[in-house]
Structures are given as C-alpha cells and as structure tokens.
C-alpha cells in the first residue's frame, strides 16, 4: 500500500487505516447510543476497518455525535471538538443529531449539531442501524482520502 503512494507519510497512512473514534451524546432518548455501542461489538466487527473507540478527544480522529444540540451540551461539544487533533471529522448519527427531529421546537434545543460543530457525514434514522453507521463511516473514509489527496496536490 505504501509503495503505491510514496508521498503518504506514516502518520497519514495510520490515520486513514486506523481511525479512532470518540462517541458524544448530547441528550435525547439514547437509542442511537445503543446502536453505536452495538456497532463496537464483535457482531459488526468494525475493527476490520481499524476503528478503535477512545475515551479522550486528544486521541480521536472522528467524533461520533448523537442527540440534538442542546444549550446545555453545546459548550461541551464545542470544547471536545476543539481538543481533537487536526485533521478532525464529525459524524452526526440519528435524526436528532442531523436536524433536532422531534425536539427541534423545544426552547433548549439548537436543532442539529451542525449549529455547534461542522459535520462531515450525516447518518439519519431513528435510530439508525449499525449497518447504516458503518456505511456512514466508510463514506467518511472516502472523504478523508479525498481530503488527503487534495492537500498533497497543493
């Protein structure tokens, strides 16, 4: 793999082939959280993509966010996003994270998490199946590869 792309540094290769994720729940019903946890079990075997769940934003490449962006959780979400090293990517999992869903007219909800942090991939559903989340992650891999190719052309 490295021989095919000689300009690929070891760090870039490791980030593309072994992304570390951090899960953040901003509130709501927790159904999406259960699906994210199910995704990390041996049944779905996301380790075949090199995905590893981390507990700290300083080691994570991808932020997997669930739930609507609430006024209470927004500062924490922004803080976690800012602590992540560059390049950083965000996946919004579930209808609440994508648009605020049934909570979007509540006084304390800012709608989707894109109001707080930039989102790279949206995985809609209430709750989305683990297969849909895997599909979203693979789409993010394609986006990461394109971003890397574009940055190397400059």
Domain boundaries, the chain: 29-143
What are the tens digits of pLDDT across the range 60-106?
889 999 988 889 989 999 999 999 988 889 999 998 888 888 887 88
pLDDT for the residue numbered 42: 87
Annotate 113-128 with b (16+ C-beta within 10 A) or e (fewer).
bbebbebbbbbbbebb
For residue 131 the two structure tokens come to 């297969």
pLDDT band at 141; cut points 50, 70, 90 = confident
The model carries a pTM of 0.83
Architecture of domain 29-143: 3-Layer(aba) Sandwich (3.40)
């Amino acid at each position: 793999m490295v021989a095919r792309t000689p300009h690929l540094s070891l760090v870039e290769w490791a980030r593309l082939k072994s992304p570390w994720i951090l899960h953040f729940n901003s509130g709501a019903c927790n159904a999406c959280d259960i699906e994210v946890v199910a995704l990390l079990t041996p049944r779905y075997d996301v380790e075949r993509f090199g995905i590893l769940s981390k507990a700290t934003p300083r080691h994570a490449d991808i932020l997997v966010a669930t739930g609507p962006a609430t006024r209470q959780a927004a500062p924490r979400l922004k803080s976690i996003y800012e602590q992540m090293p560059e390049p950083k990517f965000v996946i919004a999992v579930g209808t609440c994270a994508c648009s605020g869903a049934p909570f979007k007219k509540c006084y304390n909800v800012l709608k989707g998490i894109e109001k707080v942090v930039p989102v790279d991939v949206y995985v809609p559903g209430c709750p989305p199946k683990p297969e849909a989340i895997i599909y979203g992650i693979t789409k993010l891999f394609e986006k990461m590869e394109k971003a890397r190719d574009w940055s190397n052309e400059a």
